[in-house]
Structure 1
């Protein structure tokens, strides 16, 4: 049985977790092209290395970050996202044609 350490709940069976993708710089959502956005969402380097990834603990609804080696699949470290991120990202986009922007 593979165990992952949840920063909130401690060591748990890997079946309780859902992979959320690699942590990487997000393009500007209001100015990027569809191609840039698709590359951000769907593509990764796919090389043997240590990657920083989003993981979700399903029973508690907790998102966190894990560092994992893609060759050995060893989980090296897990931690709360607040260690990397200290502000929210506003996903509000420009209003659609004919609509007014509301505050």
Structure 2
């Protein structure tokens, strides 16, 4: 695949990934994500498991659907985004 994906290519990949995991998708990093929302494809980004800056590819095997916050907070790290705690989870644990 080309080094940079066009919007049309990104949209096609999002649809392929959504088909694999099912429509009405949550963020791939949902156990660490501060949002428990179900997202539309337009609200999700393509996150590279191995970042392109670390020689990761645009192949489907290296791409996951992630919310903007998780994708940006992860940056070019090989690790998951930092753990985010939902305020409702904190309130529930103190009861």
Which has a greater percent of helix? 2
Task: Tell me which structure has the larger Cα radius of gyration.
Answer: 1
Please give the range of the TM-score, normalised by the shorter of the 2 chains. Answer: under 0.3
Give the TM-score of the pair, scaled to structure 2: 0.25
Report which structure shows greater RCO (CA 8 Å, sep ≥6).
Answer: 2
